[in-house]
Structure 1
Amino acid sequence: MTIHARIAELGLTLPTAAAPVASYVPLVVVGNMVHLSGQLPFIDGQLVTGRLGESIATEQGGDAARACGLMILAQLDAAGLLDRVDRVVKLGAFVSSTPDFTDQPKVANGASDLMVAVFGEAGKHARSAVGVPALPLGAAVEVDAIFALRD
């Protein structure tokens, strides 16, 4: 089964890959590794903004992280690399949160669980989940990624 077929089987639709908002590229391929720039959460075409522990609940943060994961997959698809993914190596989740919010790992699970649902065992990955005071455009979450590719 192709990754596209698995995404359809899960009832998911990939968004249109977002254009960079500054001086960078969406992804860089080095050897058999692809490094993806941080992706922001768009749900129904709207950027999810706010801070966890203030205006966004943990569950909503998880949904935002999942939306970041879908955008990561959309970037891979736009580059023609989605069906070449051999392994999800690492995700980095940045969560805009108040100083007393400590559930960043629960928020990051939105993206992590998506990768496992799409790629199975190959979707299990290393991860960082970090609280930050602010993200670009007021986003609630940003997720970057590293994938290993098949030849």
Structure 2
Amino acid sequence: MSKTEARLTALGVTLPSPAAPVANYVPFVIAGPLLVISGQLPFGADGKLDPAHAGKIGGAAVSIEAGKEAACLAAINVLAQAKAAVGDLDKIRRCVRLGGFINAASGFSALPAIMNGASDFIVEVLGEAGRHARSTVGVAELPLEACVEVEAMFEIAP
């Protein structure tokens, strides 16, 4: 078992099967030393979106805590795609960037707090190599009415 997977196990996290693309794109691209992961939704281990993670954050539909949890689940799905791409998560040298899209109610501006659910998880799993640049954007809608979508870029070993 890789060091990274041992860390996931210690955290009680089992990576799910990576989600298949739902349109004309691929789930990841490797370009030189970079692994780019397409946006991942907060699907649970059953491959479904929990109703608590559907709708707008900052309104009546999704609480801030549920939004953070959804961002963490999306980051787990990012790592599932990374494992599918490179086989061994220890090939990740560092997380270069995370991008977060938050399905936000009008006037909701606590976007960074929601995205911390993903950022904190990546740092917890990868340690210093998990510290990353980040963009967080509020959006009007996301696929399947998900409250969060997370994309990533990693530097990987050859």
TM-score range, shorter chain: over 0.9
Give the 3-state SS of the residue equivalent to 2:71 in structure 1. Answer: helix
Alignment-derived partner of residue 27 in structure 1: 28
Amino acid at match of 1:8: T
SS in 2 for 1:94: strand
TM-score (norm 1): 0.96
- Contact map agreement 2:16 2:45 (CA 8 A) in 1: no
* Structure 2 Cα separation of the partners of residues 110 and 142 of structure 1: 12
Ranges in structure 1 where 5+ consecutive residues have no aligned partner: none
Query: What's 2:129 paired with?
Result: 122
Alignment match, 1:71: 77
The count of corresponding residues between Structure 1 and Structure 2 is 151
Q: Do structure 1's residue 100 and structure 2's residue 107 form an aligned pair?
A: yes
Runs of 4+ in 1 over 3 A off after TM superposition: none
Deviations 1:15-63 (A, max 9, x none): 1100001000000000000111000001353313110012101110000
| Superposition TM-score, scaled by structure 2 size | 0.92
Over the aligned positions, Cα root-mean-square deviation in angstroms equals 1.1
Which region of structure 1 is more displaced relative to structure 2, 73-82 or 88-97?
A: 73-82
Tell me: CA distance 1:31–1:44, structure 2 relative to 1, closer, same or farther (3 Å).
Answer: closer
Structure 1 stretch 118-127 or stretch 8-17: which is displaced more? 8-17
The percentage of counterpart residues that share the same residue type is 48
For the Cα contact (< 8 Å) 1:43–1:64, is it kept in 2?
no
Aligned residue runs from structure 1 range 1-151, under 5 A: 2-45=3-46, 46-47=48-49, 48-54=53-59, 55-79=61-85, 80-151=87-158
Q: Residues 145 and 134 from structure 1, CA distance in 2 versus in 1: closer, same or farther, beyond 3 angstroms? A: same
